Structure 1
Amino acid sequence: MPHPPTAEKLTEACALFCGEGKIIEAVRLVLTVASSHPDNVALLKAGATVIWTHTGRYDIVATLLQQAVTLEPHDMQAQQFLADALVTQGDLAGGCAVFSRIMDLWPQQRGDTTLQISKTLLAAGYPLEALKILASWLETGELTAGLLNNIAVAFLYLNRSTEALSWAEKAVAAEPKHPGLSFTYAIVLLKAGHHREGWERYALREPATDDMARRFTMLPRLRHGDDVAGRKIILYQEQGLGDTLQFIRFVPFLLARGADVTIAVPSSLARLMAMSFPSASVRSLQDCGTAEGYEYAVPIPDLPFIAGVASESDIPAQIPYLRADVGDIARFAARLPPRRPRIGIVWAGERRAQYENVTTDRRRSVTLAEMGAAFTPIEASLVSLQFGSLRQQITDWHGQPLFDPMGDVHDMADTAAIMENLDLIISVDTSPAHIAGGLGRPVWLISRRDACWRWGDEGEATPWYPTMRLFRSRERTCASVLPEVGAALRHWVEAWHTAHDSGATTRAT
C-alpha cells in the first residue's frame, strides 16, 4: 500500500484544485485517498472537511465520518462533525442520535453540545426542533450568551420576531462586545420593524468585504449626521447583490446634500448603476484603483442608517429608482415572443459551494421542473430570467415552451431591459427580484419559510417594493408554496386577458 499523504498535504492539494474551480478533481482525490487508506482517521476527517467546505455532498461527508468514528469512537470532534453532516443532509433522526451519543459519552460537555446541535438544526432549516432542544436545556442548564442567541434565532426563523427580541437583547447583555450577537440583535430588530434601533446596531458590524473592497475600510466610515457637502464619498459593494440593489435607492439622499458620490460595484452591476444614477460616478470594483482621494467610505447596506430611517414611512417611495437603457429595451423587445402576457421566471439563486450558503440556497431555490409543473400550461409566454449554471435545467425541460434570452445577457442592465418588456416577473428570493422591484415592475417573490428580515414575519406586501407580492413558504422548501403561486398566476392571466380583450390594461398586484 502506498505511503499515505498527511492530512495537511491532502488539504493543500484540494485547496489548489478548488482555487482553480476544479471541485470534481478535489472530490475525486479525497475519495481516492480515503479508499486507499480507509483506516487513517486524520485523512478521513481532512477529506470530510474538504467536501463539507466546497460542495453540497453531505452524504459523502457522512460516509467518511462514519468510518472515522468507527475507528475512533472517542473522537468528539469527529462525532460532532458526523452529527452536523447527518442533520444537514436531512437525516434528522440520525444526526440527533449521534448528538445524544455525544452527551452520553461526554456529559460534562452537555451545554456545549446543546449549543452545537441547536446551531446545526437552525442552519439546516429546523428552527422548531432547535427551539424544543433549547427549551429542554432551559429547565436545568446554565444559560450562556450563545444559547440565548440561538433561542432568538429560532424565534426569528419561525417568523416570531417579537418573541425573539428579548432573547437577543439578553444575549447582547451577556456579551456586549461580541460582534455576532450584536448582528443577530440588529437583524431581529429590523425584522420586527424597529428600524431606528435596528439600523443603528446594523451599522456597528464589521463590513463583510472581499479583497477588492477591503481597501475602502481604511477610510473613515460615514455616520448618520456627518456633513457631506462637498465631500468625496465612495459607496462600495458589501454582502450580496440584492443588498446593493435594495439600498442603492438612498444615493439621492447624499446627492441632495451636496456629496460627490462614487459607486463601486461588481462589473455586472456597473452599467445599471450608471444609467440609474447619472449624477454619481460609477466604477467597477475591479477597476477602482486605490482609496486615495476619498474622504469617506460607505458599505452600501449602511445607507438606511445614514439616511436616518426610523420607520417604514422613511423608506423612499420613489419607484422606479433603477433605469434600463432605452436602446436595450427595444433590442430585447424585438427578440422576445410576441404572445402576451409575457411572464419572466427565476427558479434558483446563485449556487455557491460554501456550507453557510448551501443550506440557505436549498431552502430558497426550487427546480425548473417543480416551477413548471405548478405554473403550466398557461395562456402566456414564459421567459427565463435564470442566470448561472442552473440555466442548464432548461435542456431537460419538455413542457410548455420557455423562451431563454439569457445567452444574450452580459450584465444586470440587460436583465433590467428584458424585464421592462415583461408583464410579470416571478422569482425566488434572489437579486433579479430586487431589479424588478427597483424598476417598479410587477413582481411576485417566493420567500422561504425562515423569511429574510427584509420581508418581515407575515403579509403579502413590503414597503421596500410597492409592486411586489410575497408568497411565503410554510414548509422547509419553497416547492411547497408553488401550487399557491400557480393558482394565483392562472387567476392573474385570466384577468389580464379579460382586460386586454376589452382594450384596457392591467397590472399585477
Structure 2
Amino acid sequence: MGVVISEFSPAFIEAFNGGAVLFQAGRFGEAAETFRRLAGEHPGVAALHGNLGLSLRAAGRPEEALEPLRQALRLRPAYPDALNALGGILLDQRNLDHALIAFQALVKLKHDYPGALLTLGNLFMFTGDGERARAAYRLAILAEPDIGTNYNNLGAVSLSLGHPHEAARQYRRALAIEVGKPEYRKNLGTCLLMAGDYPNGTVAYEGRLEQPVWRKRNMPGVLWQGQPLEGRTLLVHFEQGLGDSFQYIRYAGVLKRMGARVLYECQPALKRVLSTAPDLDGLFAFGEPLPAYDYHVSLMSLMHRLGTTPDTVPGGVPYLRAEPELAARWAERLDRLEDGRRPGLRVGINWHGNETGKSIPLECFEAMGRLPGVRLYSLQKVSGLDHLERLRDRVRVTELGSDFDAGPDAFLDTAAVMANLDLVITCDTSVCHLAGAMGRPTWVVLKWFADWRWMRDRLDSPWYPTMRLFRQATSNDWAEVMARVTADVAAEAAARAASPAGWEMPR
C-alpha cells in the first residue's frame, strides 16, 4: 500500500499516512473511509482507489471492493496489488474465467508476486486444464522454492494426469519443507494406495486423522494400535461416507479371529442394513449409548493396523445381505411391474453421485434401455432424479415408486431390489459398495481420474470379486466408456437369450 505523495499537500500526506496506519492496525473499515474521501478529492490517483479496494476487501466487503479495484486498474493497468485483490475476489465468487484473466495478467506483470503462480495453477485445475496447471506449479516452485503448498499442488495435478510416481515425489518434497503436515501425509497416502503400495500408503494415509478439517472423534479410552485382542472388546467407529461402512465392515471377521469382541458404531441410517453383517458382537448407531470397551479404532485405520495389501484384502462375498422378507416382496413387485413377463436381463442403474465429475449423464443409458431383452431399473435416490424427469421420454428406465427407500433406514429397499437383479451398473457411489458387499454382479463406471480405492488401470477390484471396472479412456468422455458398457450389456443379454437355462452372469 503506497503512492508517491510528494506533490500533495501536507494535509493530504497526513490523511494518507493515517489511512495506512489504520489499515496496518486492522481497522479496515476506518481505513476504507479515509481512502474513499481522498479518492473523491483526487479521482485520478490510482493508489487511492486501489487502497480503498484493498481496505474494503480486508473489511469483509468484497462486493464493494470490486469497482474501486477496477478503477485503480483503469488508471494504472500495471498495478500488482490491485490485480491480486481483484482476482482473489473473483475466485471467491467462483467467477473463474475472469479470475484467470486477472492472475494471468498479474503473473505476466510480476511472475514472483507471492502466491500468484500457485493461484494461477489452482485456477487451471478448477477449469480442467491439468497440463497448464502443472506448468504453473513448476514455475511457482522456481519462484518460491520454500513453499510446501507449491509441491503439494504439483503432486495433486501430477496424480490427476496419471503420474503417481511423480506425484509421490512432490508430496515427499512438500513434507520435507513442512515436516509431518497431515494434509501432505494423507495426500501421499492416497497416491501410494492408488499405485498399489498399501504397506507405505496405509501408514501415510493415517495423516487424514490429524487434518483440521477432519471430523475427529475424541473417543475415550485407549487407541488400538495392534495390542493383543484375545478376550478384549474393540470398538470400531465410522469416519467417512456411507460406502466406507459397506466396504470396511468386513474387517469384523478378521478382528473376531484375533479373539476380539467386536463392536461397531455406524451412521444411524445404516444400522438396519448393516445388521446382516457377520462377526459383530454389537452394532450401535452414532448417538446411542455405548457399552464398555478396551480399545477403540477408526474404521479406515484397520487397513493400516492389519497390514492390508491388494493381495490380502479380507473377506469373501457376500458379507451383507438383503432382508429375506423384503427381498421376497420386491420380487413380487418387480414381477407385477413386468406384467409377469420377466426380461432376459434386469439391470439396476445408478448414475448420479454427489462429488464433482463422478456422475454418468443419464443420456448415456438411452441406447442400453432400448436393447432387446434388457430392462433398466432406477436405483437413484434424491440427487439426479431431475435428470430422469427431463429425459423420461428418451431413456427407458423403470422407476420403483416414491416409497423406494423412503424410510429412515437407508438402502433397505436398494439391497432387496438388487437381490432380484441380474446386474447393477453404477458410478462411484455407496450403491457400488453395497452391491459389491452383497456379491451382486456389479459394473462400476469410473471417471478417468478415479478415487484411490480403485487403483490405476485395473479392470477388477481386490475388494469385490464380482465387480468389473470400466474406466474413461480420456477425461470427461462418458460417451465412449458407456458405449463399451452398452456393448457388453448387449452381449450378456444375447448370451442369456441363446441359453436361458442355467445361465449365469460372468464374474
| Matching of residue 385 in structure 1 with residue 379 in structure 2 | yes
Q: Distance in 1 between matches of 2:106 and 2:87?
A: 7
TM-superposed CA distance for 1:143, in Å, is 5.1
Gaps of 5+ in 1: 1-6, 9-39, 49-63, 351-360
Q: Distance in 1 between matches of 2:471 and 2:65?
A: 36
TM-superposed CA distance for 1:186, in Å, is 0.7
Query: Contact 1:233 / 1:295 at 8 angstroms: preserved in 2?
Result: yes
Question: Per the alignment, do residues 271 and 126 of structure 1 end up closer, same or farther by CA in structure 2, a change over 3 Å counting?
Answer: farther
Query: Contact 2:327 / 2:420 at 8 angstroms: preserved in 1?
Result: yes
Question: Per the alignment, do residues 278 and 374 of structure 1 end up closer, same or farther by CA in structure 2, a change over 3 Å counting?
Answer: same
Query: Contact 1:366 / 1:478 at 8 angstroms: preserved in 2?
Result: no
Q: Which amino acid aligns with 1:100?
A: Q
Q: Distance in 1 between matches of 2:231 and 2:433?
A: 31
Question: Per the alignment, do residues 220 and 159 of structure 1 end up closer, same or farther by CA in structure 2, a change over 3 Å counting?
Answer: farther
Gaps of 5+ in 2: 1-27, 30-54, 74-81
| Matching of residue 301 in structure 1 with residue 307 in structure 2 | no
- Tell me which residue corresponds to 2:6: none
CA deviation map 1:354-386 (0-9, x unaligned): xxxxxxx23111332x23334231121111000
Query: Contact 1:156 / 1:188 at 8 angstroms: preserved in 2?
Result: yes
- Tell me which residue corresponds to 2:241: 240
1:255-270 equivalent positions in 2, closer than 5 A? 255-270=256-271
TM-superposed CA distance for 1:108, in Å, is 4.4
TM-superposed CA distance for 1:412, in Å, is 1.6
- Tell me which residue corresponds to 2:329: 331
Structure number, greater radius of gyration: 2
Question: Per the alignment, do residues 374 and 221 of structure 1 end up closer, same or farther by CA in structure 2, a change over 3 Å counting?
Answer: farther
| Matching of residue 404 in structure 1 with residue 395 in structure 2 | no
Query: Contact 1:83 / 1:95 at 8 angstroms: preserved in 2?
Result: yes
Q: Secondary structure at the match of 2:343?
A: coil
Q: Secondary structure at the match of 2:122?
A: helix
Q: Which amino acid aligns with 1:149?
A: N
CA deviation map 1:57-84 (0-9, x unaligned): xxxxxxx997685356517344124246
Q: Secondary structure at the match of 2:463?
A: coil
- Tell me which residue corresponds to 2:188: 185
TM-score by length of 2: 0.77
- Tell me which residue corresponds to 1:253: 254
CA deviation map 1:388-410 (0-9, x unaligned): 13223322311354222263213
CA deviation map 1:288-343 (0-9, x unaligned): 23x6723322221111112211x211112512221221111111111113323100
Query: Contact 1:342 / 1:382 at 8 angstroms: preserved in 2?
Result: yes
- Tell me which residue corresponds to 1:375: 368
**Which one of the candidate residues 343, 349, 354 is aligned to 2:353?**
349
Q: Distance in 1 between matches of 2:109 and 2:83?
A: 10
1:160-309 equivalent positions in 2, closer than 5 A? 160-206=163-209, 216-223=218-225, 225-277=226-278, 279-285=280-286, 287-289=287-289, 293-309=292-308
| Matching of residue 76 in structure 1 with residue 80 in structure 2 | no
- Tell me which residue corresponds to 2:418: 419
Q: Distance in 2 between matches of 1:245 and 1:347?
A: 19
TM-superposed CA distance for 1:419, in Å, is 0.8
Q: Which amino acid aligns with 1:504?
A: G
- Tell me which residue corresponds to 2:462: 463
- Tell me which residue corresponds to 1:484: 484
1:422-433 equivalent positions in 2, closer than 5 A? 422-433=421-432
Q: Which amino acid aligns with 2:438?
A: L
TM-superposed CA distance for 1:482, in Å, is 2.2
Query: Contact 1:193 / 1:456 at 8 angstroms: preserved in 2?
Result: yes
- Tell me which residue corresponds to 1:109: 113
TM-superposed CA distance for 1:498, in Å, is 2.1
- Tell me which residue corresponds to 1:504: 502
TM-superposed CA distance for 1:247, in Å, is 1.5
- Tell me which residue corresponds to 1:54: none
1:21-36 equivalent positions in 2, closer than 5 A? none
Query: Contact 1:191 / 1:457 at 8 angstroms: preserved in 2?
Result: yes
Question: Per the alignment, do residues 46 and 384 of structure 1 end up closer, same or farther by CA in structure 2, a change over 3 Å counting?
Answer: farther
Q: Distance in 2 between matches of 1:284 and 1:114?
A: 46
TM-superposed CA distance for 1:346, in Å, is 0.5
Q: Distance in 2 between matches of 1:273 and 1:72?
A: 61
Percent identity over the alignment is 26
Q: Secondary structure at the match of 1:131?
A: helix
- Tell me which residue corresponds to 2:313: 315
Question: Per the alignment, do residues 76 and 422 of structure 1 end up closer, same or farther by CA in structure 2, a change over 3 Å counting?
Answer: same
Query: Contact 1:232 / 1:261 at 8 angstroms: preserved in 2?
Result: yes
Q: Distance in 1 between matches of 2:343 and 2:161?
A: 41
Q: Which amino acid aligns with 2:192?
A: L
| Matching of residue 394 in structure 1 with residue 388 in structure 2 | yes
Q: Distance in 1 between matches of 2:343 and 2:430?
A: 26
Q: Which structure: greater helix fraction?
A: 1
TM-superposed CA distance for 1:426, in Å, is 0.6
Tell which deviates more after alignment, 490-499 or 262-271: 490-499
Question: Per the alignment, do residues 84 and 440 of structure 1 end up closer, same or farther by CA in structure 2, a change over 3 Å counting?
Answer: same
TM-superposed CA distance for 1:280, in Å, is 2.6
Query: Contact 2:83 / 2:106 at 8 angstroms: preserved in 1?
Result: no
Question: Per the alignment, do residues 208 and 246 of structure 1 end up closer, same or farther by CA in structure 2, a change over 3 Å counting?
Answer: farther
Q: Distance in 2 between matches of 1:416 and 1:325?
A: 8
- Tell me which residue corresponds to 1:159: 162
Which fold has the larger relative contact order, with Cα–Cα distance below 8 Å and residues 6 or more apart in sequence? Answer: 1
Q: Secondary structure at the match of 1:334?
A: helix
CA deviation map 1:40-65 (0-9, x unaligned): 966997688xxxxxxxxxxxxxxx99
Query: Contact 1:151 / 1:167 at 8 angstroms: preserved in 2?
Result: yes
TM-superposed CA distance for 1:204, in Å, is 3.6
TM-superposed CA distance for 1:421, in Å, is 0.7
Q: Distance in 2 between matches of 1:388 and 1:187?
A: 29
- Tell me which residue corresponds to 1:129: 132
Q: Distance in 2 between matches of 1:83 and 1:349?
A: 25
Q: Secondary structure at the match of 1:461?
A: coil
Question: Per the alignment, do residues 82 and 317 of structure 1 end up closer, same or farther by CA in structure 2, a change over 3 Å counting?
Answer: same
Query: Contact 1:460 / 1:469 at 8 angstroms: preserved in 2?
Result: yes
Query: Contact 1:84 / 1:95 at 8 angstroms: preserved in 2?
Result: no
CA deviation map 1:448-482 (0-9, x unaligned): 12111111121311211121111112444353432
Query: Contact 1:241 / 1:431 at 8 angstroms: preserved in 2?
Result: yes
Question: Per the alignment, do residues 400 and 476 of structure 1 end up closer, same or farther by CA in structure 2, a change over 3 Å counting?
Answer: closer
